[in-house]
Chains A and B, each alone.
Chain A
Amino acid sequence: MNLKKILTKDSILPELKADTKKGVIEEMISLLVAAGKFSGKTAAVQAVLAREEKMSTGMQNGIAIPHGKTDAVDQLVAAVGIHHAGIDFAAMDAKPSHIFILTLSPENRAGPHIQFLAEISKVLSRPNLREKLLNAASTDEILNLLTV
C-alpha cells in the first residue's frame, strides 16, 4: 500500500501542543479541516472519541492510532502528530504516547482503511524509525521517514 497517497505535508504536526487525549484528537482533526480535507469537525471528533471510549488506541512504545468512522469524510484521511513530552493516552503499556496517527474513514464506504493503519503500524514497529521520528525537525522529514 502506498502511504504517500494518504499522507501529505499539510496533515503533519511536528509539535503537538495539546496535553490531553481529547485535546490531541481535536488538534489533529482541526489540522485536517484547515488543510481542506473535510468539514464537520464536531462529528469527526465525536467519532474518534466514541472509538476511544470502547478501548484506547494507545499501543505500546509511545504509539497511538486514534481512528473513527464518520460520514463527515468522503474518503480516508489521515494526520500525523508528534508530542515530544508525551501524554497519557491510556496506552497498553501505560507509558506516555508520543507518536499519533489519526485516521477518519467514511461510515459505509469500502476502502483500505484499517489496512492503512496496519501499514503505518508496521513501519512504526521499527525502533530506530521511532527514534528518528521523535528527533525530526520538519514535516518534510517526518513525511520522508514514513513514506520511504
Chain B
Amino acid sequence: MTPVTHAPETANVVVQAVQQAAQAHSHTEVMTVLVLQLAMIIICARLGGFLFQRFLKLPSVLGELVSGMVIGPYALGARIPLPGIGPLFATQTIGLPVSSELYAIATVASIVLLFLSGLETDLRTFLRYSVVGSIVGLGGLLFSFILGDLCAVWFGLAPSFMHPTALFLGTISTATSVGITARILTEKHKMSSPEGVTILAGAVIDDVLGIVVLAIVVGMAKVESSGVAMEWSHIGIIAAKALSFWLVCTALGLLLARKLTGSLKRLGSPEVIVSVSLGLAMLLAGLSEMAGLAMIIGAYIMGLSLSRTDVVQELQNRLQGVYDMLVPIFFCVMGMMVDFSAMRHALVFGLIYSAVAIFAKIIGCGLPAYLTQFNFRGSLRIGLGMLPRGEVALIVAGIGLSSHAIGQDIFGVAILMTILTTMIAPPLLVRSFRGESGLKDHIQVTEEKEETFTLEFPSMDIAEFLMQRLVRAFQREEFFVNRLHLEMEAYQVRKDDLSFTLTREDGRITISVPSDQQYVARLMIFEELLSLSDLLEASKNMKSLDVMGSELIGNLFC
C-alpha cells in the first residue's frame, strides 16, 4: 500500500464532501429563504384580509390577494434585501414568478381549499330543491364560458375557440364564489327568500359543473401544449376521459365513503379519520393529475364523496385550522404572481373581459330565472348574486399560468376580473333587494312575507351554546342544516319546502323565516329554551362553588 495510489480516491472523497456540504448549505439557504418568505406572507396576508374585512367590508380574500401584490416580486418584495442572500422575493428567471417551494405550498393550500369546498357541497339538498336553481346555474356557466372564451378570440389572444388560452379564459369566468352573496343575503334577512334559495342552489351546480369543465379544459390544454394538433376526435376522447374520471371517482366515492368512515370510526380516533381523509384527498388529487386532469379535481371529488357521511362536521371543524393557516398563503401567492408591467398592456382587455364576465352572469343566470318564476327585479337579483368570482377562478388561473396555457398578462386579467366582480357585486346586490317582490305576479299570490324575530341573551356564551343546541335539534328533526361561511355564525335550515336562516351575533340570535313557515321555527326554539332552563335548574344541584373551589384550589398554597 502506498499513499500515492490513494491520492485520487482521497481527492474524490474530499470533492464529494465539499459538494455535499455545498448542497446542504444550499438546501439550508433555500429553506431559510422559504421560511422568511412564509413569515412575511402569513403576517401580511392575515393583516390585509383583516383590514379589508373590517374597514372596507369586503371579503378577506381580496385583502390577501392585494397583500400578495404589494409584497410580491413585482413590487416591494424585490426591494426587501436579505443579508447575503438577495431580495426576499426575487423575480424568477424561468417558470413561475415565485419559487417552486412556495408554489408547492400554495398548491397544497389549493388542495385543502377544494377538499373543504367539496365537503361543504350540499348535494342532497340541491337534488331535492331546485329545478330553477340548476337552470340558473347552468345558464350562468354556459354564458360565462362561451363569452369568456370568445373574448380571447375577438381580441386576438387566441386563434380559435378551442385554443387553450381561450378555454382557460372561459373557465376562469365560470366559477361563482357565493360566499359574499350569502353574507349580504343573511345580513338583509333575504337568505330564505325565493331569490336566496335559488342563488344557493344555482351555486352548487355552478361548482360541480365548473369542476367538470375545468377537468376537460386542463386535459385539452395539456394535449395542445404537447404540440399535438387538436382535432375533434381528440376533444371527444379528452372530454370522455375527464367525464369518466369524474363520474367513476364520484360514484365510487359516494358509494364507499360511508363504509370507509364507518370502518375508521371503529378505531375511535377522530384524528385518524381526519388525517386519513385528508391523505385520501391528496392521493386522489395526485391521481387526477396523473390522469391528465388538475389536482384540485381529485381533492374536490374526495370532499364531495365525504360530504354525505356523518363525519363531515368533524372533518370541517378539525380542518378549519389548517384552512385558516394555509389558504391565505394561497391567495397571497396568487397576488404575488401579478406582473404589473405585463398587465399594463392588457388593462383595456382586462376591463372589457371583466365587463363581459359581469354581463354573462347577469344575463346567463337572470334570463333562465326570468323565463321561470321571477320578474325582472328578481332575475336581476339572482344575476347579481351569482356575479362574484373567487377562489376557484384564481386556482384555475394559477393552473393556466403554471401550464403555460396563459401568460402573465392574462393571469393579471383574471385577478383583475376577480377583484372587480367581487367589489361590484355587494353594493348592487344590496340596492337590487330594495323594493317589491322578485316573483312574477301570478306566483306572488302564494308568496308570504318573511318574519324576523330576535332573542337577546345576557351573554355571548349562552347564545352560542343555545345556537349549537338548536342546530342539533333541527338535525334531529331531519332538517338539513348548512353552515354558511360568514363572519357571524349563520346557518341555513332546510327541509322540503321549508327554509329559514339562523344567525348569531354576540348575544343575539335572529331567525328569519317566511311567515307561513314560522310555526316550526318558533316551536323548536321554544322547546330548546325550555331545555336550556332545565339545564340551568340542574346546575343548581351542583355542589356549591365554595365547596368545589376549596376542593380544587384550597390546598394550592399550603
* B516 sits at the interface (CB 8 A): yes
Are B520 and A118 in touch, CB under 8 angstroms? yes
Are B477 and A122 in touch, CB under 8 angstroms? no
Are B533 and A110 in touch, CB under 8 angstroms? no
Are B496 and A1 in touch, CB under 8 angstroms? yes
Question: Which of B477, B516, B530, B534 lies at the interface centre, i.e. has the most chain A CB atoms within 10 A of its CB?
Answer: B477
* A111 sits at the interface (CB 8 A): yes
Bound together, the chains give a CA A138 to CA B527 distance in angstroms of: 33
Bound together, the chains give a CA A125 to CA B533 distance in angstroms of: 28
Question: Which of A54, A115, A125 lies at the interface centre, i.e. has the most chain B CB atoms within 10 A of its CB?
Answer: A115
Are A110 and B477 in touch, CB under 8 angstroms? yes
Are B475 and A114 in touch, CB under 8 angstroms? no
Q: Which residues of B contact A119 (CB under 8 A)?
A: 519-520
Q: Which residues of A contact B475 (CB under 8 A)?
A: 110
Q: Which residues of B contact A114 (CB under 8 A)?
A: 473, 477, 520, 523-524, 527
Q: Which residues of B contact A115 (CB under 8 A)?
A: 477, 495, 520
Measuring CB to CB, which residues of chain A are less than 8 angstroms from any residue of chain B?
Answer: 1, 51, 54-55, 110-115, 117-119, 121-122, 125
Q: Which residues of A contact B522 (CB under 8 A)?
A: 118
Q: Which chain A residue shows the least CB distance to B528?
A: A114
Interface size on B, residues (CB 8 A): 17
Q: Which residues of A contact B523 (CB under 8 A)?
A: 114, 117-118, 121
Known contacts: A55-B530, A118-B519. The answer to whether A110 contacts B476 by CB under 8 A is yes
Bound together, the chains give a CA A68 to CA B527 distance in angstroms of: 11
Q: Which residues 512-551 in B have Cβ within 8 Å of A in the complex?
A: 516, 519-520, 522-524, 527, 530, 533-534
Are A54 and B520 in touch, CB under 8 angstroms? no
* B478 sits at the interface (CB 8 A): yes
Are A111 and B530 in touch, CB under 8 angstroms? no
Return the contact of B519 from the options A51, A54, A55, A122 (Cβ within 8 A).
A122
Q: Give B5 Cβ to nearest chain A Cβ, in Å.
A: 84
Q: Which residues of A contact B524 (CB under 8 A)?
A: 114, 118
Q: Give A79 Cβ to nearest chain B Cβ, in Å.
A: 18
Q: Which residues of B contact A55 (CB under 8 A)?
A: 530
A–B pairs, 23, beta carbons within 8 Å: A54-B530, A110-B476, A110-B477, A110-B478, A111-B477, A111-B478, A112-B495, A114-B520, A114-B523, A114-B527, A115-B477, A115-B495, A117-B523, A118-B519, A118-B520, A118-B522, A118-B523, A118-B524, A119-B519, A119-B520, A121-B519, A122-B519, A125-B519
Q: Which chain B residue shows the least CB distance to A108?
A: B476
> Chain A binding site: helix, strand, loop or mixed by DSSP?
helix
Known: A54-B530, A112-B478. 15 other contacts (CB 8 A): A1-B496, A54-B533, A55-B530, A110-B475, A111-B478, A114-B473, A114-B524, A115-B520, A117-B523, A118-B519, A118-B522, A118-B523, A118-B524, A119-B520, A125-B519
Bound together, the chains give a CA A117 to CA B523 distance in angstroms of: 8
Bound together, the chains give a CA A56 to CA B551 distance in angstroms of: 40
Bound together, the chains give a CA A110 to CA B495 distance in angstroms of: 14
Q: Which chain A residue shows the least CB distance to B522?
A: A118
Q: Give A91 Cβ to nearest chain B Cβ, in Å.
A: 15
Q: Give B474 Cβ to nearest chain A Cβ, in Å.
A: 9
Q: Which residues of B contact A118 (CB under 8 A)?
A: 519-520, 522-524
Are A113 and B530 in touch, CB under 8 angstroms? no
Q: Which residues of A contact B534 (CB under 8 A)?
A: 54
Q: Which residues of B contact A54 (CB under 8 A)?
A: 530, 533-534
Q: Which residues 469-499 in B have Cβ within 8 Å of A in the complex?
A: 473, 475-478, 495-496
Q: Which residues of A contact B496 (CB under 8 A)?
A: 1
Bound together, the chains give a CA A115 to CA B518 distance in angstroms of: 11
Q: Which chain B residue shows the least CB distance to A54?
A: B530
Bound together, the chains give a CA A16 to CA B520 distance in angstroms of: 27
Q: Which residues 290-319 in B have Cβ within 8 Å of A in the complex?
A: none
Q: Which residues of B contact A121 (CB under 8 A)?
A: 519, 523
Known contacts: A118-B519, A121-B523, A122-B519. The answer to whether A113 contacts B477 by CB under 8 A is yes
Bound together, the chains give a CA A117 to CA B477 distance in angstroms of: 12
Q: Which chain B residue shows the least CB distance to A110?
A: B476
Q: Which chain B residue shows the least CB distance to A120?
A: B519
Question: Which of B496, B523, B530, B533 lies at the interface centre, i.e. has the most chain A CB atoms within 10 A of its CB?
Answer: B523
Q: Which residues of B contact A110 (CB under 8 A)?
A: 475-478
Bound together, the chains give a CA A134 to CA B556 distance in angstroms of: 70
Q: Which chain B residue shows the least CB distance to A125?
A: B519
Bound together, the chains give a CA A125 to CA B520 distance in angstroms of: 13
Q: Which residues of A contact B519 (CB under 8 A)?
A: 118-119, 121-122, 125
Bound together, the chains give a CA A121 to CA B533 distance in angstroms of: 24
- Chain B, 207-248, contact with A by CB distance < 8 Å: what is the 0/1 string? 000000000000000000000000000000000000000000
Q: Which chain A residue shows the least CB distance to B498?
A: A115
Q: Which residues of B contact A113 (CB under 8 A)?
A: 477
Bound together, the chains give a CA A47 to CA B81 distance in angstroms of: 74
Q: Give A63 Cβ to nearest chain B Cβ, in Å.
A: 12
Bound together, the chains give a CA A118 to CA B524 distance in angstroms of: 9
